[in-house]
Structures are given as C-alpha cells and as structure tokens.
Amino acid sequence: MAYPDVFEKLVSLAKRRGFIFQSSEIYGGTGSVWDYGPLGVELKNNVKARWWNAMVRQRDDVEGLDAAILMHPKVWEASGHVAGFSDPMIDCKTCKARFRADQLQGAPCPRKPSKHPGEHADCLLTEPRQFNLMFKTFMGPVEDSASVVYLRPETAQGIFVNFLNVQQATRQKVPFGIAQIGKAFRNEITPGNFTFRTREFEQMEMQFFVEPGSDMEWFERWKAARLEWHYALGLAPDRLQFHQHGETELAHYARAAFDIEFDFGGTLGFQEIEGVHNRSDFDLSQHQTVSGKRLEYVDQAANKRYLPYVIETSVGADRVTLAILVNAYREETVPGEEEGRTVMGLHPTLAPITTGVFPLTKKDGMPEKAEKLAAELRKEFPVFYDDAGAIGRRYRRQDEAGTPFGITIDQNTMANDTVTIRTRDDMQQIQLPITQVADRIRAYLRSDVSTAEVKHFSPV
C-alpha cells in the first residue's frame, strides 16, 4: 500500500497542538533545528523511556552510561571522524550555493529552479571538496588550534572510551553491552524533511562487546530484537523493512550494516530510522593505538585477552518520534457529522496524555467530581482536565493530541457514580463505575494493541 505524504499537515498540527516548534521561530528560525513543545517532550520522553527499559532495565547484560558531549579531540582523530566524516561538496562560484556532489542531479539551481546546478549558462562549479560534518568550537579562553574541541557527531565514542571503566566497575563479562541516550551534532549539508535530518538530534545507542568469531551471531540477534522493538511501538509492520548496506555504503568503521527503514510516505518513502552495525574491533583498536592504553578484555576463565568486537544498535530518538507521528496521523469522516476528525492514533503507552477528564457541564457538582477523579488518576497517568466548550469539541481536541481515553462526568455520575469512558480509535462510549476507571486504564496500557482492538470494556 502506498502511504500518502502527510508532512505538511503534520508540521501544522505539531505546531498548533504543541508537539514541535521551529527553533528561534520569532527570529525566522534556525536552520534545521527544532524544539519540542509540551506534548512533544512527553512523547519523546516516553520513546526514550521505552528504549532504556528494553535495552538496560530489562537486561542484566547491558549497563547504562551518560558520557559528556565534549571529549578529548584525539577521540575524533582515533575514531576516524576528523579524516573521514565528511561529504564531498561542490560550490557554485556564481550564486555561492553549496551542494552535495552525490546529490547534484536532484538539486534545483537557486537561480533557475527548473534546472540543476551546472546547467545554467552562468553556473561556475568547483571540483568536489571534502566538507567535515563535525561542529568545531574552542575550550577555554583562547581560540587557537590547540583549544579546538568538537561537538560529538555520535554518542558511541563516549561508550568506547569508557569500555574498561564500565566493565571493571560492574564486573560484567563479555558478552555485555553499554547503552546511552544523548545529543549528537552534525553540520548536515542537506538537512530537511522536518525533524528527519537535523543538525542537533538525540541518539539512543548501544555497543555490545563480544568475543571475535561470535560477532555475526550477535549481529543477527540484535537485528531481530531491534525490529521487534519498533513493532512494539505500534509502527505498522508493512511500513518497516531492513536495508542491507552494500560495499560502497558501509561507514568507515563497519564490517556489516543493516538499516531498519520506515516508510514515511509520499516521495520520501522508506528511509533509515536505525542502524545495526558490526564495528569489529575498529574503535577499541584505534583508541588503544592513539591513547597508548591497553583496552583488552581479560577473560580469566579461558586465560586469554583480546579486543572485543562490537555490535552497535543506533537509533535516532527524534527520527523514531517522527516515524511515530507520521504513522499515527490520520483523517477520518465521522458518521452523522459534517466535519471529519484528525486523529493521532498513538500507541496508548506512548501518548503524551493518557486520559482526558471532562465534566459535561459546569454545574450540578460535576466539576468538583471531575476534579477529584482527575487528581486521583494523575497520581498514575498524565491527565488533561478540560471543561471548556461542547463535549464533541473537547473529544476532537484530544483526538488530535493522541489521547487514547476520555472520561465524562455526567448526570449518571451524580446519580449512581458511573462515568462514560470514550476510546479514541473507535469512538465507543460505555459506562463504568467510577471506582473501576483506573483499573481499566491500567489494563489497556498493559495490552499491546490499539484501543480499537481492545474489546474487554464491558458495559455495566
């Protein structure tokens, strides 16, 4: 099935509802940098918590880490980023625009967009030149070459240089992994597609250290585990696929690599959201050579020492959050209503707000009862209390926010302590004793399916 391009509508909804704003918007924006609003930060935090839970908390063979963004500049020499983390660029001397050499044929000429760079008679293109993607800054008061530091372009190196610290502190034995979530920065030449490719983003990376020879077996295991994780977020299975890197695509450190791709719809189609890489002993061996410190693992039981191979799983928190938003966006007609509705069909466990609480009217003791229920539920779930406007409008506002449940306090609540609970996906409304609301929401959140598929709400 061909998925439509929803980017334009999504960018507008994301701003209107407070998922994502353009950075420094009042100054005209910063190139490809985005801010997460009240709903967006909750959604992204839920994604990161899901990853941390699956990769660290649920496993006894992976440890957590939070390494600093600024690292010793030698790290980036050893890792190969100073020499090799670059794109070949071509400049136009006439209009001063810069293009990626490998994307020239897809780029419009700024002076005549119907032509490609180089096709206009006045175009004067340079030969391709390497342009390093790392952001440079200076540490300390003096701005000279001795004080240059880089904003990390990947979080992985913080893990490699801490490999022995973590192993010795935790007494883990190979095979084991180290995981972290953190910001990374790349001076991308062709950023774009909303938060898909940005210059500041967050990565969730895990390096799994294994004995050489067992690496391809672990590579396959991690590939399978990571794909499962994306399914569990509610991404449609037919929108996910693997893409194997051919010889020419492999990064400088990779022995083998697969991307997990998501179908973003329209012309963008399938694009990488996660990389699973076999980095061999490339990084540890480089750091051992450049630092002069032995980084070998000592296997006392087998009486041998070696540099472990590394299987890396690397997923962008922003990119997977974007995939979740694209996957969730839908417009529907509503039987009996002229206006359709826009729904963010987010998985209930990821939704920024779990339930809305709505007093039907602002009188007859309904607000007091509703506030009491909201306060009780808030101890466990994110709750949005809304008493403004017609109830239908309040439902629609929460549909757009992706809120899976809505609880209405009405005349029945006042008469017999039952509430109406509405599920976002099928818009079914049923009555339930107020005392059972928290249990039912808990049951929903435990089940791994969309609200429309949950049939266990029985009317009282």
Number of CB atoms found within 10 A of residue 157's CB: 23
Q: Minimum distance from CB of 8 to ligand GAP (Å)?
A: 20
Give the interface with ligand GAP as residue ranges (CB under 6 A): 154, 156, 186, 188, 197-198, 201, 203, 205, 272-275, 312, 314-316, 318-319
Whose Cβ is closer to ligand GAP: residue 16's or residue 136's?
136
Residue 164, C-beta contacts closer than 8 angstroms, at least 6 positions apart: 295
> What's the min distance (Å) between Cβ of 217 and ligand GAP?
21
Residue nearer to ligand GAP on the CB measure, 240 or 273: 273
Which sign does the torsion angle of CA 328, 330, 335, 340 carry?
A: positive
Tokens of 209: 């250290």
CB of 179 to ligand GAP, least distance (A): 12
Q: Which is nearer to ligand GAP, 272 or 400 (CB)?
A: 272
H-run or E-run covering 204? strand 200-210
Q: How far is CA 131 from the centre of its chain?
A: 27
Q: Minimal distance in Å, beta carbon 412 to ligand GAP?
A: 48
**What's the closest the beta carbon of residue 204 comes to ligand GAP, in angstroms?**
9
When the beta carbons of 91 and 318 are compared against ligand GAP, the nearer one is 318
CB of 31 to ligand GAP, least distance (A): 12
Q: Taking CB positions, which residue lies at the least distance from ligand GAP?
A: 316
Closest CA to 85 of 117, 133, 124: 133
**Nearest distance from C-beta of residue 23 to ligand GAP, angstroms:** 14
Residue 7 or 405 having the CB closest to ligand GAP: 7
User: Coil, helix or strand for 25?
Assistant: helix
Of 205 and 263, CB closest to ligand GAP: 205
In whole angstroms, give the CA distance from residue 352 to residue 401.
Answer: 8
Is 91 or 205 the residue whose CB approaches ligand GAP more closely?
205
Residue 90 CB, nearest distance to ligand GAP (Å)? 20
DSSP sequence for 259-309: EEEEE--TTT-EEEEEEEEE-TTHHHHHHHHHH-----EEETTTTEEEPPE
How far apart are the C-alpha atoms of 446 and 439, rounded to whole Å?
11
Q: Are 331 and 340 in contact (CB under 8 A)?
A: yes
How far is residue 84's CA from residue 107's CA, in Å, rounded to a whole number? 24
Task: Dig out the tokens for 19 from the structure.
Answer: 């998922």
Burial class (CB in 10 A: 0-12, 13-18, 19+), 198: buried
**CB of residue 312 to ligand GAP, shortest distance in Å:** 6
What's the min distance (Å) between Cβ of 366 and ligand GAP? 46
Question: In this complex, which beta carbon is closest to ligand GAP, that of residue 66 or of residue 339?
Answer: 66
Q: What HEC string does 404-444 produce?
A: CEEEEECHHHHHHCEEEEEECCCCCEEEEEHHHHHHHHHHH
CA distances from residue 293 to 161, 164, 284 in whole angstroms, order as listed? 10, 11, 10
188 vs 400, beta carbon nearer ligand GAP: 188
Q: What is Dmax (Cα atoms) for the chain?
A: 81
Q: Which is nearer to ligand GAP, 42 or 318 (CB)?
A: 318
